[in-house]
Amino acid sequence: MFLAKVIGHVVATKKDDKMKGRKLLLLRPQLVDPNDPKKFRDGSNTVVAVDNLGAGKGEMVLFVQGSSARATEGMKALPVDCAVVGIVDNVDVLGHQVYDGK
C-alpha cells in the first residue's frame, strides 16, 4: 500500500464498458521527507486510480497497484492497475503527526 494526496479527477467518456460508472482520481504519491521526517514530500509521479470510497480532492488516501488493485471489492473483472483502498484520518511519523484529515 502507498499514501497519496488526491490532486484531481479524471473524466473519460469513452472507455472500456466494464469501467462505466467508475470514479477515477488523479493521485500524487506522498513520501516521508528524508531531510525532515516530520513532513511529507510529493513523489515525482502521478497515478490514476479507481475510487469506490468517495475520496475527494485534497484528501490523503491509501492505494494499491497491480494484482492487489484487482483483489479489492468489485474490481476482479475490471481492467484496473490502481485502486483507492482507504481514506486516511491521520498519519504519525516518529511520534509527530504529519497529517490530520479533520
Q: 79-102, pLDDT tens digit by residue?
A: 899 999 999 999 999 898 999 988
Domain ranges for the chain: 2-100
- As a whole-number percent, the residues of the chain with pLDDT over 70 amount to 100
pLDDT at 76: 86
pLDDT at 5: 97
Is the pTM above the cut of 0.85? yes
Evaluate whether the domain defined by 2-100 bears CATH number 2.40.50.220. yes
How many C-alpha atoms does 32 have within 13 Å on its Cβ side?
11
Average pLDDT over residues 51-60: 95
Confidence of residue 3 (pLDDT cuts 50, 70, 90): very high
In terms of Cβ atoms closer than 10 Å to its own Cβ (0-12, 13-18, 19+), residue 45 is exposed
| Mean model confidence pLDDT for the chain | 93
